[in-house]
Amino acid sequence: MNHLIAPSILSADFAHLKQDILMLNNSEADWIHVDVMDGVFVPNISFGFPVIAAVKNYALKPLDVHLMITNPDRYLEDFQKAGANVITVHYEACDHLDRTIHKIKELGCKAGVAINPHTPVSLLENVIEELDLALIMTVNPGFGGQKFIANSYHKIQQLRAMADEKNPDLFIEVDGGVSNHNSLALLKAGANVLVAGNAIFAAEDQLHAIAELKNISPD
């Protein structure tokens, strides 16, 4: 499968969010990555349902919602109603992960699980067959514009090997510090969805920055 690009609107200009969404509609982006932070699971607060619903009014691409919140089960239906197409919860934030994955699927969304930099890939072994997507955090979650953690390559390779065996259609998403300096290596390691915030929204020519990430060929 060709890899997907999911620009993170955490790095967008919130006073001009509509223009940024229209720009993404006209770009080679595949999904729109939406980072929700509760100030408890991560040391930052981003935005919630009204903002996601406003984005959904203009977005022509699927919303890839990354929940950095504790006990996400409480709000899954609200995120689906606000317009989420993919819902990714954190392994570290769920007591009953298998149940949470099934709830997401029952809502008609694709189900993802994210793991923090300290969390081993092996902990996904018993749920990987249920998943549509696994997200490897390549920074500590909470903020855009951080430095990529190099040890992540090994985790991506491990996850790719596990997915090849148990769930070859799994989306393997990487999130944090992704840029055109490391994206080829990330794809070669086995990722097929690249999230990028700063590398896109801080660029002078955002459409070009997206096209550059999209047009890399790992072969």
- Catalytic positions are 35, 175
38 binds Zn ion (CB under 5 A): no
Answer for the pair 3, 190: CB distance below 8 angstroms, yes or no. no
Nearer residue to ligand DX5 within complex by CB, 161 or 202: 202
Of 146, 122, 131, the closest CA to residue 35 belongs to 146
As a residue count, the chain comes to 219
Q: How far is it, in rounded angstroms, from Cα 1 to Cα 12? A: 28
152 is in an annotated binding site: no
144 binds ligand DX5 (CB under 6 A): yes
Residue 88 binds which one of Zn ion, ligand DX5, none, with CB within 5 to 8 A depending on kind?
none
112 binds ligand DX5 (CB under 6 A): no
73 is in an annotated binding site: no
Residues of this chain, 156-195, that bind Zn ion according to CB under 5 A: 175
User: If you search the block for the tokens 């694709």, which residue do you land on?
Assistant: 110
Alpha helical stretches, state H, 29-107? 49-58, 76-82, 97-106
Q: Which of 3, 5, 8, 171 touches ligand DX5 (CB under 6 A)?
A: 8
Alpha-carbon torsion (121, 119, 112, 200), positive or negative:
negative
Nearer residue to ligand DX5 within complex by CB, 9 or 111: 9
176 binds ligand DX5 (CB under 6 A): yes
39 is in an annotated binding site: no
175 binds ligand DX5 (CB under 6 A): yes
Q: Are strands 133-137 and 110-115 parallel, antiparallel or unpaired?
A: parallel
193 binds ligand DX5 (CB under 6 A): no
35 is in an annotated binding site: yes
Q: Which of 72, 112, 141, 190 touches ligand DX5 (CB under 6 A)?
A: 141
Q: How would you class 188 by CB atoms within 10 Å of its CB: exposed for 0-12, middle for 13-18, buried for 19 or more?
A: middle
Of 78, 94, 109, 120, the closest CA to residue 171 belongs to 109
- Cα–Cα distances in Å, from 187 out to 39, 94, 123? 31, 28, 22
Chain centroid, CA 64 distance in Å: 6
103 binds Zn ion (CB under 5 A): no
Residues of this chain, 120-139, that bind ligand DX5 according to CB under 6 A: 139
Residue 139 binds which one of Zn ion, ligand DX5, none, with CB within 5 to 8 A depending on kind?
ligand DX5
Nearer residue to ligand DX5 within complex by CB, 8 or 27: 8
175 is in an annotated binding site: yes
| Residues making up the binding site | 8, 33, 35, 66, 142-145, 175-177
